[in-house]
Amino acid sequence: MIQSDYDPQIAAEYAQELAEKGLTFMGVEVFDPTSFWMLLLRFAFNLLVCWIIIQFFYYRKSRRKDYYFTFMLFSVTIFLLLFLLESIPMQIGFALGLFAIFGMIRYRTETVQIREMTYLFVIIGISVVNGLSTAVPYASVIVANLLFILVTWVLESNKFLKHTSNKIILYEKIELIKPEKHQELLADLKERTGLDILKVEIGHIDFLRDTAYLKVYYKAKSDEINTIDNITRFP
């Protein structure tokens, strides 16, 4: 009679160890329910917060679908990149490196306005916070995201900050730029532009062509951002 080496206790412990580790392929775990559901939950939450900021604060004024597309994809990319690489050492240095890289981005097609760059930085910051805060309590993460939304709302609201638009004008009535004729200059600009002009600054003066560059500040009738205000001519 051959004696069997089978030990039920050892087999049970081995089976329990395999169940805890889950199915592996080439030494890598195939499916981890906890990590999977955490990824989906945090991804949905991060996407929701970024969408609220972009849709209700940025897009409401700018109406720029190209930046809408850019901000949303930045959010998705940064979050997944940091969440999936969370176990890599020096993760904080890696995150700061991303800030430095994107801070030096220059789009060759056009100059990126400071407002768009600010929103880009905010979206990157939110995604970094949500992607690296897996060990932070959920309440702290939620409060941090709500603070992002609250501060953005306060700064974008006309109830707290009054927005004044400005425009560059090439002006030919050079005799009206004298200080003693300031009121005549304002009246002429209001009549010709139809804008509620609040202040005028005089810039470059060309006496050969009898022209001067004026920067006028006016109260806009709409909250939408006019991206062409400061362009004097096409290249």
Residue ranges of domains in the chain: 23-156, 165-218
Let me know: does 211 contact 202? Beta carbons within 8 Å.
no
Q: Residue 132's closest CA among 96, 175, 170?
A: 96
Let me know: does 76 contact 70? Beta carbons within 8 Å.
no
Q: What is the DSSP string of 210-235?
A: TEEEEEEEE--SSSS--TTTT--S--
The mean per-residue pLDDT over the stretch 7-31 comes to: 59
Q: What are 155's two structure tokens?
A: 């700064």
Query: Is a pLDDT exceeding 80 seen at residue 108?
Result: no
Is 7 strand, coil or helix? coil
Query: Is a pLDDT exceeding 80 seen at residue 4?
Result: no
Q: What are 156's two structure tokens?
A: 């974008």
Residue range 36-86, pLDDT digits in tens: 888 899 999 999 999 999 999 888 888 888 889 989 998 998 888 878 776
Let me know: does 119 contact 71? Beta carbons within 8 Å.
yes
Global confidence as pTM: 0.65
